[in-house]
Structure 1
Amino acid sequence: MAESIITSDNPSSSSPLNPPSRIICHVCQKQFSQYTCPRCNSRYCSLRCYKSHSLRCTESFMRDNVVGELGQMQPDDETKQKMLDILKRLHSEEETDSMDEDDTTTLSDETVQKILSGDQVCFDDLSAEEKKQFQRALASGELSKMIEPWDPWWLKPSARTISLSKEGTQLVQPLDKKEALVSLEEDLESNPSSEIPHGPESPLPPVSKLSSTEPSPMLAVHLVDILYSYCFTLRLYNGDWQSDAVGSAMVVLSVSAVLGQGGQPETVLEALSHCLEQTCSPAYRQMGGLQLGLILIDDVISLLSLGGPALVYSLCDLQRLIQAGERELKSEKPKNSRRVEIRSKLKLAERKIYFIMCWVHEQPGEAWSSLAAMVGGEKSSAMDYEGSKQPVKMSNKAETRGRALIEEIK
């Protein structure tokens, strides 16, 4: 009897009276099968066909065998220690490879020692190569990813609940002045970006006791200039001006015409024009330029909309900022004429801030909503430029009256 050839997957049965059937390999369809998969009963002819017939079968078969073998193994302490040594060596090799692949070099030993000892490291302390690395990281935005974005306190819901006593002090404060000073310093050190800054610790005197002349009718315009410089500085330092008291104080003087240059803007348009011009200057252009300026104008509007108590709190915080810069300059040695000049400017700025803070406390609440509306109206002239790619110039003091805040260069 001739042998029969079966191509079915069904297994065949053989007996002395029934010669064995020859079944074609289910995988290659070329050779006769000699084996049967123990999991799916598929017929195959060779190891190659077995490996390719079903990945699920082969992988599970190998896994079961390995798990079974491992289950029978009882590793001793010596085997465990060898495995740990291997893992440690592999980990150290991976770290070395990642360092070799990195294009940047590490900080110098001198810079690392300064950081470890707690000393302040400034840009001038870096080597030429470290400065290049820092500038590349700054330009690529890598540094900004490491900084948690700061939310201005005047945009928080709790800012709407700020209130003052009739004397101009915050309603909740320590019993004695020494305790108040200690608690304030501890709070600033532990949480420099606290939600709401502290208000005045002592009563605000009437303006009539500070000056024998009537307050200037332009103080509202000057307030806009000062608030803009305050918001700019806090956003620039991500809310933490305590990290660089002198630097933050110098930013305030550079942005504010009233505090830094003895300016006397006569209109809101003129005040905003100067502030926007400084924001778009080469010194701060990389911070956002005009787009940042428009955000800062919104910040000023938000502060004005909160009313007198919030304005007093912001001016009190700005006064502390200037005082901290002044104290730091005073402690620096050796002293030079430039430092003395800056201290003199800071002291004058502090007096102006205190005077206008006392003036703000005396004004009726409805005055601030009107001023906020005026600032919002002037912002619309700057918004006309938004989205345009034409170069712009800022109008100077003589040109600002009755003209657009920003005009295109023809």
Structure 2
Amino acid sequence: MEPAGLCGFCPAGDAQPARYTCPRCNVPYCSLRCYRAHGTCAEDFYRDQVLGELRGRHASPSRLAGALRRLRQQRETEDELEDAGPSPGPAPGGLSGLWERLAPADRAAFERLLSRGECAPAVPARIPTLASLSRGRPSPLVRFQLPNVLFAYAHALALYHGGDDDALLPDFCTTLLGVSGALGAQQVFASAEEALQAAAHVLEAGEHPPGPLGTRGAMREAARILLGQGPEHQKNFTLAALGHLAQTLGRARKQAASPEERDRLYRARKKCQFLMAWTNENEAALTPLALACAGAHRAQAAAAEEVAALTGELERLWGGPVPPAPRTLIEELPG
């Protein structure tokens, strides 16, 4: 992280480079000691955001998720400072005790949001039937488009903070349709593993921005979405994700400048609606897909661990992160 200037709380003449800034007043600070010297300004800022979202039911679920995400990030910052070493003086009430200081009504409201799934997109109220979208029986390969789409959805959602910011909407859709061949290029896959690897290869090739999940994280999230909330409500997460995608693509289509882009977004939106109808009528197929995604995630993790082990062994032999300079085996003597 680039320094944000000099710390505003260090003793005069001994100011250290500041790695952090208070989200409320933008005062820079360098360490846990100076963070504590600043009082509860940052804590109060995030606490007010969370409570405001809890109490303001008109606010979108994505804003609540954003507030909670920023709160977690601030807590991680404090943990990072704590790991850097001890500092004198007791904390005046760190973020780790925020839950305990919430009023009982606020805790209950937050628990209701989690239990009802209100922090995530809702299941669409109206889902078309497959018969209304297709004259014939869908191909058995349709199911393998879901892992590809959900991989790209998880990646774009994490990268663009929920996909609900209009300013980020074009980038969200460009990444989504670029990573998901099923949506952007009408690709067909013969297995869940092939569908996931196709999306992973796009990211690994550097054609689109890397996200916080990475390829393994996106595979894991695709499996979690397909598993849903258990046997009784398994399809809900997948339906909610596809519904959110269809809505987002529809919004983006209204903003698109060129007919070609509007047509591309229209086709992707129709594909999401078709997959939503298929999912609604084929819930039993989701568990095998989820298990295949989980298996692909495990294989990817095992391969990464093997590469890390080999890299570590090579660095041990080299005595550093790069190989030693080649030695000259035969040197011509001057005549």
Question: What interval of TM-score do these two structures reach, taking the shorter chain for normalisation?
Answer: 0.5 to 0.7
Shift of 1:285: 6.0
Q: Which residue pairs with 1:3 in the alignment?
A: none
Q: 2:170 aligns with which of 242, 246, 249?
A: 246
Q: Deviations over 1:298-325 (max 9, x none)?
A: 1011111111122111110111111111
Q: 1:187 aligns with which of 50, 60, 65?
A: 60
Q: How does 1:372-383 map to 2 (within 5 A)?
A: 372-383=290-301
Q: Is the 8 A contact 2:253 2:262 kept in 1?
A: yes
Q: Deviations over 1:189-231 (max 9, x none)?
A: 8657561212213x32320121111111011100111111111
Q: Which residue pairs with 2:77 in the alignment?
A: none
Q: How far apart in 1 are the matches of 2:223 and 2:59? A: 31
Q: Which residue pairs with 2:191 in the alignment?
A: 267
Q: Which residue pairs with 1:277 in the alignment?
A: 201
Question: Identity percentage over the alignment?
Answer: 19
Q: How far apart in 2 are the matches of 1:385 and 1:371? A: 21
Shift of 1:242: 2.4
Q: Deviations over 1:107-141 (max 9, x none)?
A: xxxxxxxxxxxxxxxxxxxxxxxxxxxxxxxxxxx
Q: How far apart in 2 are the matches of 1:219 and 1:319? A: 17
Q: 1:206 aligns with which of 129, 135, 147?
A: 129
AA partner of residue 248 (structure 2): L
Q: Deviations over 1:61-116 (max 9, x none)?
A: xxxxxxxxxxxxxxxxxxxxxxxxxxxxxxxxx9xx99xx99xxxxxxxxxxxxxx
Q: Which residue pairs with 2:79 in the alignment?
A: none
Q: Which residue pairs with 1:217 in the alignment?
A: 140
Structure with more helix by fraction: 2
AA partner of residue 274 (structure 1): A
Q: Which residue pairs with 2:277 in the alignment?
A: 358
User: Could you say if the C-alpha distance between residues 356 and 185 of structure 1 is closer, same or farther in structure 2, counting changes exceeding 3 Å?
Assistant: farther
Q: Which residue pairs with 1:19 in the alignment?
A: none
Q: How far apart in 1 are the matches of 2:302 and 2:61? A: 41
Q: Is the 8 A contact 2:175 2:208 kept in 1?
A: no
Q: 1:318 aligns with which of 245, 254, 259?
A: 245
Shift of 1:280: 1.5
User: Could you say if the C-alpha distance between residues 209 and 379 of structure 1 is closer, same or farther in structure 2, counting changes exceeding 3 Å?
Assistant: same
AA partner of residue 187 (structure 1): S
Secondary structure of the 2:165 match is helix
Shift of 1:187: 3.1
Q: Is the 8 A contact 1:246 1:326 kept in 2?
A: no
AA partner of residue 294 (structure 1): R
Q: Is the 8 A contact 1:312 1:360 kept in 2?
A: yes
Q: How does 1:324-403 map to 2 (within 5 A)?
A: 324-329=251-256, 335=257, 339-363=258-282, 365-387=283-305, 388-389=307-308
User: Could you say if the C-alpha distance between residues 205 and 341 of structure 1 is closer, same or farther in structure 2, counting changes exceeding 3 Å?
Assistant: same
Q: Deviations over 1:354-394 (max 9, x none)?
A: 0110111111x432222211222233332232131579xxx
2:181 is aligned with 1:257: yes
Instruction: State the aligned residue count.
Output: 208
Q: Which residue pairs with 1:35 in the alignment?
A: none
Q: How far apart in 1 are the matches of 2:145 and 2:210? A: 26
Q: Is the 8 A contact 2:219 2:297 kept in 1?
A: yes
Q: How far apart in 1 are the matches of 2:217 and 2:304? A: 12
Q: How does 1:114-263 map to 2 (within 5 A)?
A: 187=60, 193=66, 195-201=119-125, 203-243=126-166, 244-263=168-187
Q: How does 1:2-151 map to 2 (within 5 A)?
A: none
User: Could you say if the C-alpha distance between residues 266 and 189 of structure 1 is closer, same or farther in structure 2, counting changes exceeding 3 Å?
Assistant: closer
Q: Is the 8 A contact 2:225 2:238 kept in 1?
A: yes
Q: How far apart in 2 are the matches of 1:227 and 1:272? A: 9
Q: Gaps spanning 5+ residues in structure 1: where?
A: 1-93, 103-147, 149-183, 330-334, 392-410
Q: 2:216 aligns with which of 275, 281, 294?
A: 294
AA partner of residue 354 (structure 1): Q
Shift of 1:265: 1.2
Higher alpha-carbon Rg? 1
Q: Is the 8 A contact 1:255 1:279 kept in 2?
A: yes
Q: Is the 8 A contact 1:192 1:242 kept in 2?
A: no
Secondary structure of the 2:278 match is helix
Secondary structure of the 2:272 match is helix
Secondary structure of the 1:356 match is helix
Q: Gaps spanning 5+ residues in structure 2: where?
A: 1-8, 18-45, 47-56, 67-117, 229-233, 312-335
